[in-house]
Every structure is written in C-alpha cells, then in structure tokens.
Amino acid sequence: MADFHTKTFYGQKRSVRVTSPSKQVPYIFLSCLNRKNDGSWEKPSEGEGKTVRLSIEEIICILEVLYRRSANWRGYHVFKERKTEIYVGWEDESRQVLRVKIGEYVKKLRFPNLNFMTLLLDHILKEKIEFATSGTFETKTIEKAELDEEAEYGLFSEHITARDGLHIVETTEFSVSRNIVEINAKIKVESPKALLITLDSGEEFWIPKSTIHSTYDVNEKKKSQKMLVDKWIIEKNKILK
C-alpha cells in the first residue's frame, strides 16, 4: 500500500490537485491551480496557486457531498486576520457537475473525474483512520523531529436542511496562535512523519511534516522549494537569528 498519494484533475485552464503526504498524518492538501499564459501550470511548491490543508473531518464533509448525501460543504480556515473560504458543492439539483472553490480559484469536475476523486478520497480516509489515529506500545527509534505533536484545531459545524432534502454543511476551523515563516529548502530525505531539508545556506535538519503548512514535492530533489513552516521549529534548529 502506497504511503504518498497525489492526483491532479486537469481542465483546459484550471486544475485541482489532491495530495496526501503520508497515510500517517491526519490531513491532506487540496490545491487549485491555473494554467499560465506560456502553457505551464502554477506550482504549489513555488508558492503559486491556492492550497489549503484539510483535516479528516473536512475530508468526511467533502465525501458526504460526493456521495450526494449533502448538497454542499462550505469551510472557513481562520488564521489571525486571514480567512480562507473552501466550497465543494453541486452546480444544480441534477448533481452532475461539482464546483470546487478555494478563495478566488474555482474548478468544475464532471464524470469520470468525479468518480475518481470520490474513490481516491474514500481510500485516503480509510488509510488515515487506520494509520493516523492509531499507535503502538512498541518502542521504536525515530528521528527526534517526529516526536513533536500535531497542532490543535477547533472544528465547528452547522447543518442546514436544503429544499431538496439534502444537507448544507458549514464548518469553521481556527488554528492555534502561532508564527509561520517562509523558507527556501531542498528536500533530501523523507520519512513517514518528517523531512530532512537543506536550506540555501547549506544548513540541514529534520522538520516534522505537521509543522509544514504548504504543499511540497518530495520527488523534487534538485531545486529549492518555498515552504511555510512554524517559526518555532526553525528557531529550535537555530536557523533564524
């Protein structure tokens, strides 16, 4: 069974990407990307497009829509003064076209991509329930970086019955107060819960995946990638002065 999943659903001008960096972390990344004038696509690893990190609860909300048990789901991620809206819902009551919206980015999905996304998210959800919410009493030697706990979030939901009998689900997720910084780094090694990265300055250290708040490409080993990470992990490794 694969540990890493990524799938991009392309259109002529817009695409949506689902990324699960590991089955052992309780979240995925959902990205909306535009095609540039030169024909290339925006790259999340370079800070382009719009990407959000979705929790297991939010994956469940999206699947409720995909299985046509909910009319739509609207989520809000609130961090300090920044608020990002995520919307997944049917274009009309025929429920043949799905609209995915992250901020100002919008992508529509139809058959067979709808079915593909449903099967993929269902598979990822089952993986994460098994591996990201369980533990073992065995003693293992792991990198110290992997011992850092996941950040806590508060998830609030409200259910409203729509006219066609389906539910409209709205959630708001507040992140804990913390400082986030942007770094440029190359990925050298990946473990289930951490990355060994090298900064442009040549400094090298392990960083927990739970402290990374942007998408990254683990297969890109030659180029530096922009990453949004918790400031404390950088200070812990004495990189910021």
Give me the half-sphere count of Cα atoms (radius 13 Å) on the Cβ side of residue 111: 3
pLDDT in tens, 6-40: 999 999 999 999 999 999 899 999 999 999 999 99
* pLDDT value at residue 236: 72
* pLDDT value at residue 141: 32
Residue 163: is its pLDDT beyond 80? no
pLDDT band at 148 (very low <50, low <70, confident <90, very high): very low
Residues 6+ apart with CB under 8 A from 8: 15, 16, 17, 33
Question: How large is the average pLDDT for residues 151-162?
Answer: 55
Give me the half-sphere count of Cα atoms (radius 13 Å) on the Cβ side of residue 82: 8
* pLDDT value at residue 156: 54
Residue 146: is its pLDDT beyond 50? no
Question: How large is the average pLDDT for residues 204-216?
Answer: 84
Residue 80: is its pLDDT beyond 90? no
Residues 6+ apart with CB under 8 A from 164: 71, 93
Q: What is the dihedral of CA 34, 39, 43, 48, to 10 degrees?
A: -50
Whether the full predicted model's pTM is greater than 0.75, yes or no, is no
pLDDT band at 87 (very low <50, low <70, confident <90, very high): very high
pLDDT in tens, 166-192: 777 777 665 554 577 888 999 998 887
Q: In this structure, are residues 84 and 97 in contact, taking their beta carbons and an 8 Å threshold?
A: no
- Residue predicted with more confidence, 158 or 64: 64
For the chain, give every domain's residue range.
Answer: 5-175, 180-236
What order of strands is seen across the sheet that includes strand 180-190? 204-208, 194-199, 180-190, 225-230
Question: How large is the average pLDDT for residues 55-60?
Answer: 93
In this structure, which CATH number among 3.40.190.10, 2.30.31.10, 3.30.1490.20, 3.30.470.10 belongs to the domain 5-175?
A: 2.30.31.10
Residue 64: is its pLDDT beyond 90? yes
Alpha-carbon distance of 56 to 65, in angstroms, equals: 15
Question: How large is the average pLDDT for residues 126-142?
Answer: 66
Question: How large is the average pLDDT for residues 64-72?
Answer: 94
DSSP H helical ranges for the chain: 56-66, 113-131, 231-236
